[in-house]
């Protein structure tokens, strides 16, 4: 417990939705907060997929962490990778750095771990080499280059089979991210092909959305899934249901149908939006505390989000499962609203515990599920109300702009979307092919 | 000469300021235009340095070439690298591509070459490894990461000498680009340090602008150079005049003063904005036609911008010197207005020649020189009027927004600048450290 002279030290690992909320809620309080992240910016993950098709630019969906907390004297931002914890000594261990005198570990009184998840290839890590992702900023930019290059190569090619392979796009995973990215590729190819290209057309394009179950958006009511599927089809996307991916290589994808029959799809662009795996730090917390770790690498925390036996260690977001206090777990989706509510809860729990007040268990309030398919097309399940089409899209729009961090980002994104909507996609967007070779050549090597 | 049935084929190599103007002026004319560029976007080079400090984002200063000419049926965009010319067969040779059936060469009736220049290290190509540049988009993004990382490392370091090295920034070359980037680093460090960082301050920072001659902005009248130097000093930049760079390595820069004395500056960030060298295609045109090539690799073209003996081949921009018709050359600076006027001239020359009309020699109209130092600080030499400070900056602002390609870019940039000006830099900008390792890992490898 902190004394009057030495404020309570809260260390927050991870500047995603959860971690950021914790720090925001503790800003200006009588605690000393250190936010540790290996990147210098918060990434607005729900819109990262829009970077992958050039609808938004990287700076629209990112916000420098220092700019967020520059005016808060009790908050320190530390750019470092956390590699381990010492729960006994209450220290967070950092990856070794070349900076002389930089700390190797950081002490805490309360630790909040919120390092999220990454995509899992179900044991097929070699698929990662061939598939694109829209999880990190860099991966989304790489997908953008890949999709635009496929169009360029199709335009340049004179062989029908080759052109067809270039114009085949396979998205794996029919959840919100898969639906969003497939819909956006549909819009991109439809908009640009009719306008910007001379030899390729929308008819040559195939966009497959591969989903293991029998419908997309499994977390939504069946009626909304059906509407989403119709919207996707109108954008040129073929929902390919009941199919499992059994191989991804440099030449395409092999699917297995419900009857066990294999189907080969020749394509140059595969985007992976299927299962996720929790950050490795979740399993490490489980190992150190004896808490359960599930198949997806998530550690089970108590109903107050704390690690068993360690009330001073909180973990949250999609790297944890929350226990119900009776040996079971709450079934929470791995989405931003859960992380946000858990972050707000964690900050409150820290303050109440410091004040010697009891802490009630975490309770998630589901305000509704949203998924967008394209301009003017979305589905919304608000519980009491189910919407699709333009009304759902307007709600999606308002929610995403509202939660977008930073006033300037909100205005620029609102501006870009209005522009795009009014001009029916006739905007340049941010359709830049980054050249990894140029980027590598431009890398400065100060250490020789 | 074109017949009624087969339109005259104009091939334009390079989508910079010059090439773009040629294509724009020939849009909708009775010629078939092919624009070839190895990148899929036009880069607004006069503002690329603002990407290097996070003031603008990459998408603000780029515009996809296809989006520019999508609505012009007589214009085709080809994404390819030009490696050679066959002036006899009148063909442009392209770099081999993996796309089956893609053309190896493109025939022309008129050829316009406008492939610009890159930075020259005066024979010290090993310096390129250590120095940053703000010429290509990728190089500017790399400089941005480098500058921001230096601040992060300085904040993390506890050793005085190391912190001092991280907070020393050396810009080589006192021309407009060097002045602009040095001034911007001054603004960035001053703005962010007082706000976003806890342990480093502006007093620890050294920004040196190294120039061989005795003043910055040598192309401007001495009075404006003096004013620019005072503005730079107010932003924390030290103009380091009469010094020559004799070594750049992983640990710093060695300068030689007027007296021959060597000075060692320990720094982690060197930005090169000194001499330029013309695109290698200029020398190739000289070799093929016998035209003179100067020490900077520029080919000398006739007063009508055509290659000697080849009226059907035009070259323009900062890869050429323009002959005065009496054995001498016109002294033109390597700036966007020259390329723009030459592009407009070239398109007119093509049309007049097709109509059988005579072509007057190219004549450059210098409307003035502008250089900006920071928010509200610039110098303008309009010939009849010399301005500095806010009036010059407002002119600079208006000109750059006006020439910025694309309506959406203009609005977003105007918005970002207004925001930044009104908030006195209190904006998040685009201060993202891109991770080249993440980018490399995110690279998708379809060919195995």
pLDDT in tens, A311-355: 999 999 999 999 998 889 998 999 999 999 999 999 999 999 999
pLDDT at A447: 42
pLDDT at B405: 75
pLDDT category, B351, cuts 50, 70, 90?
A: very high
- Number of neighbouring beta carbons within 10 Å of residue B52: 26
Contact in structure between A395 and A405 (CB atoms under 8 Å): no
- Helices A407-422 and A390-403 pack at an angle, to 10 degrees, of 150
CB-nearest partner of B439 from A101, A132, A138: A138
Measured between its terminal Cα atoms, the distance across chain B in Å is 47
pLDDT at A5: 67
To the nearest 10°, the Cα dihedral for B179, B182, B188, B194?
-120
Residue B12 Cα distances to B22, B25, B34, B92, B270, angstroms: 8, 12, 6, 10, 35
Measured between its terminal Cα atoms, the distance across chain A in Å is 47
pLDDT at A425: 55
Alpha helices of B206-333 — where are they, by DSSP H?
222-234, 280-289
More confident residue, B426 or A66: A66
Catalytic residue list contains B244: no
Of A248, A256, A261, A260, whose CA–CA distance to A171 is shortest? A248
Pairing between strand A168-172 and A269-272? parallel
Place of tokens 């809620």: A25
pLDDT at A157: 87
Q: Which of A74, A439, A441, A445 to mutate to test the interface with B (most CBs of B within 10 A)?
A: A439
Q: Which two tokens stand for residue B143?
A: 């400089």
Residues of B in contact with A416 (CB under 8 A): 408, 412
DSSP strands (E only) in A95-232? 105-107, 110-113, 117-119, 131-132, 168-172, 206-211
pTM across the whole model: 0.89
Confidence check: pLDDT of A194 > 90: no
Which range in A52-56, A108-112, B203-207 is most confidently predicted, on average pLDDT?
A108-112
List the 263-322 stretch of B: residues with Cβ below 8 A of A: 268-269
Average of per-residue pLDDT values in chain B: 90
pLDDT at B440: 55
For range B252-263, the mean pLDDT: 92
Q: Which helix (H) or strand (E) holds B248?
A: strand B244-249
A418 touches chain B (CB under 8 A): no
For range B80-88, the mean pLDDT: 96
pLDDT at A448: 34
The model's pLDDT over A174-187, given as tens digits with 9 standing for 90+, comes to: 999 999 999 999 98
SS3 call for A103: coil
The set of residues, in sequence order, having a beta carbon less than 8 Å from that of B259 and lying 6+ positions away, is none
A303-314 b/e (C-beta count within 10 Å ≥ 16 → b): bbbbbbebebbb
Which range in A29-33, A161-165, A409-413, B65-69 is most confidently predicted, on average pLDDT?
A29-33
B129 touches chain A (CB under 8 A): yes
Of A114, A117, A102, A116, whose CA–CA distance to A10 is shortest? A114
Residues of A in contact with B197 (CB under 8 A): 66
3-state helix, strand, coil in chain B (%, to 5): 35, 25, 40
Residue A143 Cα distances to A146, A170, B443, angstroms: 5, 12, 8
Q: Which helix (H) or strand (E) holds B355?
A: none
For range A77-95, the mean pLDDT: 96
pLDDT at B448: 34
The nearest alpha carbon in chain B to A161 belongs to B100
Which residues make beta-bridge pairs with B171? B209, B271
Q: Which two tokens stand for residue B308?
A: 């000697």
For range B273-301, the mean pLDDT: 95
The model's pLDDT over B136-157, given as tens digits with 9 standing for 90+, comes to: 999 999 999 999 999 999 998 8
pLDDT at A2: 44
What's the sign of the alpha-carbon dihedral A96, B437, B141, A80?
A: negative
B76 touches chain A (CB under 8 A): yes
pLDDT at A348: 97
| Phi, psi torsion values for B196, nearest 5 degrees | -90, -20
With pLDDT > 70 as the criterion, what percentage of chain A qualifies? 93
The model's pLDDT over A365-413, given as tens digits with 9 standing for 90+, comes to: 999 999 999 888 999 999 899 999 999 999 998 898 888 877 677 777 7
The set of residues, in sequence order, having a beta carbon less than 8 Å from that of A73 and lying 6+ positions away, is none
CB-nearest partner of A157 from B66, B101, B249: B101
Residue B2 and residue B223: Cα distance in Å, rounded? Answer: 54
B368 touches chain A (CB under 8 A): no
Residues of B in contact with A439 (CB under 8 A): 138, 141-142, 434, 436, 439
Q: Which two tokens stand for residue A285?
A: 């917390």
pLDDT category, B58, cuts 50, 70, 90?
A: confident
- Number of neighbouring beta carbons within 10 Å of residue A74: 17
SS3 call for A150: helix
The model's pLDDT over B101-113, given as tens digits with 9 standing for 90+, comes to: 788 999 999 999 9
Radius of gyration of chain A (CA): 23
Q: How many helices (H) and strands (E) does chain A have?
A: 12, 26
SS3 call for B348: helix
pLDDT category, A4, cuts 50, 70, 90?
A: low
pLDDT at B446: 45
A446 touches chain B (CB under 8 A): yes
Residue A179 and residue B245: Cα distance in Å, rounded? Answer: 55
pLDDT at B413: 79
Q: Which two tokens stand for residue B287?
A: 């070799």
Q: Which helix (H) or strand (E) holds A418?
A: helix A407-422
Q: Which of B166, B180, B187, B211 is flagged as catalytic?
A: B180
CA distance B23 to chain A (A): 15
Contact in structure between B115 and B281 (CB atoms under 8 Å): yes
Residues of A known to be catalytic = 180
pLDDT at B40: 92
Of the ranges A32-36, A176-180, B51-55, B380-384, which one carries the lowest mean pLDDT score?
A: B51-55
Q: What is the ipTM of this complex?
A: 0.84
Alpha carbon B234 to chain centroid, angstroms: 26
Average of per-residue pLDDT values in chain A: 90
The model's pLDDT over B300-321, given as tens digits with 9 standing for 90+, comes to: 999 999 999 999 999 999 999 9
With pLDDT > 70 as the criterion, what percentage of chain B qualifies? 93
A70/B195 touch (CB, cutoff 8 Å), yes or no: yes
pLDDT at B436: 58
CB-based burial of residue A203 (10 Å sphere; 0-12 exposed, 13-18 middle, 19+ buried)?
exposed
Residue A44 and residue A64: Cα distance in Å, rounded? Answer: 11
pLDDT at B439: 58
pLDDT category, B381, cuts 50, 70, 90?
A: very high
Q: Which helix (H) or strand (E) holds B106?
A: strand B105-107
The model's pLDDT over A420-445, given as tens digits with 9 standing for 90+, comes to: 766 655 455 577 787 655 555 555 55
DSSP strands (E only) in A14-149? 31-37, 41-43, 62-64, 75-79, 82-86, 91-94, 105-107, 110-113, 117-119, 131-132
């Amino acid at each position: 417990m902190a004394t009057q002279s030495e404020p309570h030290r809260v260390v927050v690992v991870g500047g995603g939705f959860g971690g950021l909320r914790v720090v925001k809620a503790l800003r200006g309080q009588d605690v000393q907060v250190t936010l540790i992240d290996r990147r210098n910016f918060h990434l607005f993950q729900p819109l990262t997929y829009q970077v992958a098709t050039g609808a938004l630019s990287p700076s629209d969906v990112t916000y420098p962490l220092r700019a967020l907390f520059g005016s808060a004297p009790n908050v320190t931002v530390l750019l470092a990778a956390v590699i381990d914890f010492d729960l006994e000594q209450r220290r967070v261990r950092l990856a070794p750095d070349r900076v002389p005198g930089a700390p190797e570990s950081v002490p805490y009184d309360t630790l909040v771990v919120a390092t999220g998840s990454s995509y899992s290839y179900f044991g097929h890590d070699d698929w990662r080499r061939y598939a694109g992702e829209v999880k990190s900023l860099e991966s989304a930019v790489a997908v953008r280059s890949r999709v635009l290059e496929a169009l360029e190569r199709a335009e340049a090619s004179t062989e029908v089979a080759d052109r067809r392979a270039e114009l085949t796009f396979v998205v794996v995973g029919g959840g919100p991210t898969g639906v969003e990215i497939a819909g956006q590729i549909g819009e991109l190819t439809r908009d640009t092909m009719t306008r910007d290209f001379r030899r390729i057309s929308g008819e040559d394009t195939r966009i497959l959305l591969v989903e293991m179950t029998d419908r997309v958006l499994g977390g939504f009511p069946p009626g909304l899934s059906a509407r989403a599927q119709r919207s996707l089809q109108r954008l040129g996307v073929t929902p390919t249901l009941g199919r499992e991916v059994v191989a991804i290589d440099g030449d395409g994808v092999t699917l297995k149908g419900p009857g066990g029959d294999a189907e080969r799809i020749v394509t140059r662009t595969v985007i992976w939006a299927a299962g996720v795996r929790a950050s490795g730090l979740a399993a490490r917390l489980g190992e150190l505390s004896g808490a359960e770790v599930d198949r997806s690498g998530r550690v089970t925390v108590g109903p107050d989000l704390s690690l068993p036996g360690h009330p001073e260690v909180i973990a949250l977001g999609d790297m944890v499962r929350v226990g119900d206090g009776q040996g079971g777990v709450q079934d929470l989706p791995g989405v931003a609203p859960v992380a946000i509510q858990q972050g707000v809860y964690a900050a409150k729990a820290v303050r109440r515990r410091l004040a010697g007040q009891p802490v009630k268990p975490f309770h998630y309030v589901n305000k509704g599920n949203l998924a967008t398919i394209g301009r003017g097309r979305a589905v919304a399940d608000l519980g009491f109300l189910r919407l699709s089409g333009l009304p759902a899209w307007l709600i999606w729009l308002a929610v995403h702009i509202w939660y977008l961090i930073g006033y300037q980002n909100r205005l620029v994104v609102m501006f870009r979307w209005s522009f795009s909507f009014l001009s029916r996609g006739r905007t340049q967007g941010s359709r830049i092919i980054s050249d990894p070779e140029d980027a590598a050549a431009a890398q400065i090597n100060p250490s020789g």
